[in-house]
Amino acid sequence: MTEFRYSNVEKEMEVYGYDGVVKSHCRMCHGGCGVLVYTKKGKVAKIAGDPDCPINHGTLCSKGLASAQLAYHPDRLTYPVRRIGPKGSGKWERISWDQALDAIAERILEYKEKYGPESVVFGYGTGRENEAVIYRIANCLGSPNVLTAGHFCYGPRLSTGIITCGTNPVVDYENFPKCIILWGNNVTIVNADEYKGEPFSVALDHGAKLIVVDPRLTRPAARADVWLQLRPGTDAALALGMLNVIINEKLYDKEFVENYTHGWEPFVKRVNEYPPERVEEITWVPKEKIKEAARLFATTKPAAIQWGVAIEQQNNCVDNDRSLMFLMGITGNIDAPGGQALYRTPDIVNVGHFGAHGMLPKDQFAKRLGGERFRLASRFAILQPKCVWDAIIEEKPYPVKMLFLISSNPVITRPNAREVYRALEKVEFMAVADFFMTPTAELADIVLPAATWLEMDYIGDFWKRHGYILPRRKVIQVGECRSDHEMLNDLAHRIGQGQYWWDTFEQALDYILHPMGIKWKDFKKMNYIRGPVKYYKYKEGGFSTATRKFELSSTVLEKMGYDPLPQHREPPESPVNTPDVYKEYPYILITGVRPPGFFHTENRQIPWLRELHRDPIVEIHPDAAAKEGIQDGDWVIIESRRGKVRQRAKLVLGRDPRIVSAQHAWWFPENKDPGHGWDESNVNILTEDALEGMDPAMGASNLKTALCRIYPESRQGGLP
């Protein structure tokens, strides 16, 4: 047992009769929070935050606290099953793991032989620390097609960070920024990627100034010194307007700009196309507020920017990310204490190497679906999902015959959901690994029972850029559930990849750790390992870019044929771009509002978490509600050109009346009919995935800027 610094652990065990406690790290979202898992008679009895963990310092969200309710849920998948009826019929038979993996392996080899390895697509949802093994099995097979959320979630941040300054710049909360911009993110309830809400709140308690960029009045926005209430989809214009003020008022870091940047002169020329007066027209943010925010950020040192997927789920994704990095860079806050650190990971086998990207043959790399169109995404092995659906439905440019989806529910999470459903209905063979029978899993041929974080050994935060790795220790075993890593290691041997894998996955953990000269048995006794922390590294060796400088004009994008400088692009559907549509659909719809108890489509069957959020909610300004005859609590129809869904109205101030915001990822596990009501409140029925409307380099879909109309459900008598 790990030794503990806090005596209350022993007291808890004595008072409540716990017979054991295990230190581990939660993975109910992107993971990382240290936990103490108390056990009684071999079962999890309680989960609490670990005060020793440097990530969360003992704090823990509702998802982490409810983890045992997920692990022991009566509806959980605990053994492999095979479909025996038509797709979506809900008829299954129990099979063994050997039968399941043999059947999947047989199909992989069959399609590889008949149609080429590219006809087999592997996939996963958000970063659940399974991406390295999924890429490894795909690359060793020769398939360039791995379906992820990377085209519009974190992948753009990482990709643009690498081409701009060598890595993903992360807020250094440890050294207390004196000014923070929270841009399109609410870290107090959504703890994604490298961040948790606790250090942000502590920084504010230490006196940090706060600028919030958000169309909605969130709790952080209510606390902000400056709140920039922009029109959805205009983030790049706002950032360029702030850069315009900083440059023309000479508030930038001259020494950094002169010595460490590439492309300053063309960059200044581009920025001068966005004076505050023009930016006010584009963004709906008053020019004086733009100036106030720019001056506050540029003159308060150190300063940092934390942003989220809201700015990446747009057709201006790449330039949104880059523009925010430029604000960090030219103010001298890049790789600075209390600014935006460029952390180093410990000396391990990194995700890219473990994922065997170098083993994918060049001729197969060239076959990546959408690779010629979305060249920056392809450079980072990221796939645009629409290209997969087209290859299934139309068999162009070649047929996709098989999907193997792990921890992913694209029927609910991907735009144009009805098209996604058609594709999954049509694909010849699909395997899914998940905790429950989701709307996506119901369309599969074989469903495998995945292990929760409580049921596995792994290296937590292996893929992140905050510099830590943490041991995740197995506590329990539920049924026949297996980790993603174990099942793929087993499957790889069945398809002829044994030489690239291991007899047991613990050996793979040893492999990841071997550059440090330790094994998993050593690491699991530790609290964590942190990479070396050093600031201003660029002053010695430059940045890890082609020019060795911070690239304001991207040499990579220029070689790919894209504009090397940032710009504002209007959303494909907007009051400006499609005024006729706006007359018929007079509200801008933000999708993806995150309730704190859920993680995308997960947890709606968990009692503690569902009690927090019984129904899907659409937030509407009272003025708009009065105009449409909507009362607080009414069931409302939200309709776009793609379709209509129903959600319950919540009337809220603190937004422009022309903007409504709807929760995403809703389905109803309590509905036992096939599909679990997947098309009742699923906001992605309203969103678009036309290729020509996506970010040209990354393929990011537009989920924050659809046009819609709203009216009481009673007006039409319900959904058709």
Asked if residues 647 and 663 have their Cβ atoms less than 8 Å apart, the reply is yes
For every residue of 197-209, DSSP letters joined together read HHHHHHHHHTT-E
Cα end-to-end span (Å), the chain: 58
In this model, does residue 5 exceed pLDDT 60?
no
Residue 7 has pLDDT above 80, yes or no: no
Q: Which amino acid is residue 6, in one-letter code?
A: Y
Q: Are strands 34-40 and 43-49 parallel, antiparallel or unpaired?
A: antiparallel
SS3 call for 582 = helix
- For residue 32, the model assigns a pLDDT of 84
* Cβ-contact 447, 434 below 8 angstroms: yes
Average pLDDT, the chain: 95
In contact, 146 and 122? CB cutoff 8 Å: yes
pLDDT given at position 16? 81
Residue 683 to residues 141, 371, 500, 618: CA-CA distances in angstroms? 35, 28, 41, 10
- pLDDT tens digit string along 532-569? 999 999 999 999 999 999 999 999 999 999 999 999 99
pLDDT tens-digit series, residues 76-124: 999 999 999 888 888 999 999 999 999 999 999 999 999 999 999 999 9
Candidates 625, 703, 619, 654; CA nearest to 229 is 654
Place of tokens 């807020």: 171
Look at the chain and count its residues: 720
Structure tokens belonging to residue 97: 């793991």
**DSSP assignment letter at 174:** G
Helix count (H) and strand count (E) of the chain? 28, 27
Contacts of 559 (CB under 8 A, 6+ apart): none
Which of 522 and 11 is assigned the larger pLDDT? 522
Instruction: Compute, in degrees rounded to 10, the torsion defined by CA atoms 88, 94, 97, 102.
Output: -60
Residue type, 169: P
Chain segment 147-203, per-residue pLDDT in tens: 999 999 989 999 999 999 999 999 999 999 999 999 998 988 876 678 888 999 999
Average pLDDT over residues 20-35: 91
Q: How far out from the chain centre does Cα 83 lie? A: 30
Percent of the chain with pLDDT over 70: 98
Both tokens of 585, joined, read 């659909």
Mean pLDDT, residues 577-596 taken together: 94
Average pLDDT for 435-448? 97
Choose among 426, 441, 362: nearest CA to 391. 426
How large is the average pLDDT for residues 679-695? Answer: 96
Query: Which DSSP letter does residue 334 get?
Result: B
- Centroid of chain to Cα 567: 24
Buried b or exposed e, range 11-44, using 16+ CB within 10 angstroms: ebbeeeebeebbbbbbbbbbbbbbbbbbbeeeeb
Residue 719: predicted pLDDT: 53
Q: How far apart are CA 261 and CA 257, in angstroms?
A: 5
Gap between the Cα atoms of 344 and 351, Å rounded: 14
pLDDT band at 10 (very low <50, low <70, confident <90, very high): confident
pTM: predicted TM-score of the whole model, two decimal places:
0.95
Dump pLDDT digits (tens) for 640-686: 999 999 999 999 999 999 999 999 999 999 999 989 999 999 999 99
- Spatial separation of the C-alpha atoms in residues 187 and 418, rounded to whole Å: 31
Whole-number pLDDT of residue 1: 34
Q: Contact at 8 Å (CB) between 436 and 676?
A: no
Tokens 């063979």 — which residue? 429
CA 561 vs. chain centroid, Å, equals: 27
Residues 207, 359: Cα–Cα separation, whole Å: 50
Tokens of 618: 């659409």
With cut-offs at 50, 70 and 90, classify the pLDDT of residue 13. Answer: confident
| Mean pLDDT, rounded, for 22-49 | 93
The per-residue DSSP string of 623-660 comes to HHHHHHT--TT-EEEEEETTEEEEEEEEE--SS-TTEE
pLDDT bracket for residue 126 (50, 70, 90): confident
Q: Measured between alpha carbons, how far is 491 from 105 in angstroms, rounded to an integer?
A: 7
C-alpha closest to that of 183 among 218, 227, 216, 213? 213
CA distance 211 to 179: 8
In angstroms, rounded to a whole number, what is the distance separating the alpha carbons of residues 418 and 426? Answer: 12
Of 433, 247, 406, give the one whose Cα is nearest residue 326.
247
Residue 31 has pLDDT above 80, yes or no: no
Round to whole Å and give the CA distance between 619 and 625. Answer: 10
Ordered by where they begin, the domains of the chain are: 8-60 (3.30.200.210), 81-154+354-468+474-523 (3.40.50.740), 170-341+548-559 (3.40.228.10), 579-715 (2.40.40.20)
8, pLDDT greater than 90:
no
Q: Which positions ≥6 away from 62 have C-beta within 8 Å? A: 596, 597, 608, 609, 612
- Tell me which residue has tokens 């966005």: 274
What is the pLDDT at residue 308?
87
Instruction: Give 231's DSSP letter.
Output: P
Q: Strands 170-171 and 340-341, how do they pair? A: antiparallel
Contact 655, 619 (CB under 8 A): yes
